[in-house]
A and B are shown apart, each in its own frame.
Chain A
């Protein structure tokens, strides 16, 4: 009995020592794992975390999705409003994506106005959704020059464990796919728009795509889907967005030189990942 309690306490000691080492020397800790060809959470370099998508769970929103990518949890809701279109584009509706990283999701975010990370993520998601034309804005038109739909796509992170961009993009696309808009008619005489309570039609998405993020350590070790521990230690971060036909939509690389074969390898992995996620 006493010997088992001794082994238990020494195992607990070792875990404590490992945790202290991880806090004091995070990079060395990670490099020790990399040398054994494994990552701290047990995945291989190429492995992606399990993804689960739950669509349509929020009944009060016009469309919603809940995405879990490992421990990173993102909730997305779509709300539709009627607005007057811009004078320059009288037949185009509006798509307004936004993500919020509140203090609840991670100790590194403090309560208050959106942090730089949340703002940058919002801008990148805006580029990925609006600039890539996933939703034809003219399909949101009710009456040219008078009434158009505005879709507010709002994401909130409930738990942050790295790679919020991939999870948020997945959540936004899932929510948009499940969005239904009521049939709206514009009355020219009164200038008001009436929405039907009974008929709802889904929103038309033109293309489907998935994003994959990678982190490169020491120019040769490429880790897919970095966690919150690995992310700040990466030398180079790379995000590739691939559409469902296997064609590239956007690549963003920050941090330094990666060799062409590494880039090609990442692109191929991103394409496989897009096929995986399609199912």
Chain B
């Protein structure tokens, strides 16, 4: 059920932005895509410096018009997620600057936010300069009527019929405690929001179900993230490990 929605995930860190330490692009669907860049650890402003850990600043930019309160709110959510997933104490008095650019228009649902969170995770991995406790994968979920099935909703066209939905972000890491399901490591929740649209409402059973659906979908996103790392080239390499394998077969 969820694999069909996640079939069109596309990840790329090939182009690589020049002025930053790491960057990546993540999209669930051509209508839901985000680009994130990470620079860090770099010098922090004296006023923003923290003596025991790194400071995290997140800037979210929409596709069109100036950033508003909605972008500030998404920025704060991403900042809390980055602070929880990175080991900030290893880089005191520095700054980790994350800039997220939305590449598609915002929707009433949370698909764009989930794409932005995943793009940040990939950019942090691409930078490689900040140690992380785990990899954060986020998925948007939604349902049509109260009591109907909850599924991963990434297509903007489907968004209009949704009467409830949310976004769940999970931290995946082999060092965490918990069951290992399939190939994905144990995960813990790191951020979530779930709300009903006008005229609708939900109960706690639905919230629990939504979390479970999101957990399974996030494990699939984790697998996509892992597969994409194989295709990445590091600085100085002309061929990625994937291309080397293909050539060897001949």
Interface of A toward B, CB cutoff 8 Å? 116, 119-120, 122-124, 126-127, 131-133, 206, 241, 243, 245, 247-258, 260, 263-264, 267
Contacts and interface: CB of A to CB of B under 8 A. Distances in A.
Interface string B177-194: 000000000001111111
Interface stretch (B67-75, B148-156, B221-229, B239-247): B67-75
B201 A256 contact: no
Contact of B207 (A126, A133, A263): A263
A210 B69 CA distance: 22
A248 B204 contact: yes
B84 A255 contact: yes
Contacts of B20: none
Interface in B172-214: 188-199, 201-204, 207-208
A251 B69 contact: no
A264 B72 CA distance: 30
A260 B193 CA distance: 15
Interface of B: 69-70, 72-73, 75-77, 80, 84, 108, 188-199, 201-204, 207-208
A247 B189 contact: no
B198 A255 contact: no
Given A119-B72, A267-B204, A127 B195 contact: yes
A253 B191 contact: yes
A253 B195 CA distance: 12
Contacts of A250: 193-196
A99 to B, nearest CB: 10
A251 B195 contact: yes
Contacts, number: 86
Contacts of B202: 247-249
Contact of A122 (B69, B80, B188, B204): B69
Contacts of A247: 201-203
A232 to B, nearest CB: 12
A124 B73 CA distance: 8
Contacts of B198: 131-133, 206
A252 B76 contact: no
Contacts of A119: 69, 72-73
Contacts of A260: 208
Contacts of A256: 84, 188-190
A254 B73 contact: no
B71 to A, nearest CB: 9
Given A248-B203, A264-B204, A116 B197 contact: no
B80 A255 contact: yes
A124 to B, nearest CB: 7
A252 B196 contact: no
Contacts of B190: 255-257
B191 A254 contact: yes
Contact of B69 (A123, A255, A263): A123
A254 B80 contact: yes
Contact of B73 (A123, A206, A248, A249): A123
B197 A120 contact: no
Contact of A251 (B70, B75, B77, B207): B207
Contact of A133 (B73, B75, B199, B204): B199
B208 A248 contact: no
A248 B193 contact: no
Q: In this complex, which of B189, B198, B208 has the most chain A Cβ atoms within 10 angstroms of its Cβ?
A: B198
Given A254-B191, A255-B84, A123 B72 contact: yes
B17 to A, nearest CB: 25
A179 B156 CA distance: 36
A123 to B, nearest CB: 4
Query: Which are the 6 A-B pairs with shortest beta-carbon distances?
Result: A133-B198, A250-B195, A247-B201, A123-B73, A119-B72, A123-B69
A89 to B, nearest CB: 14
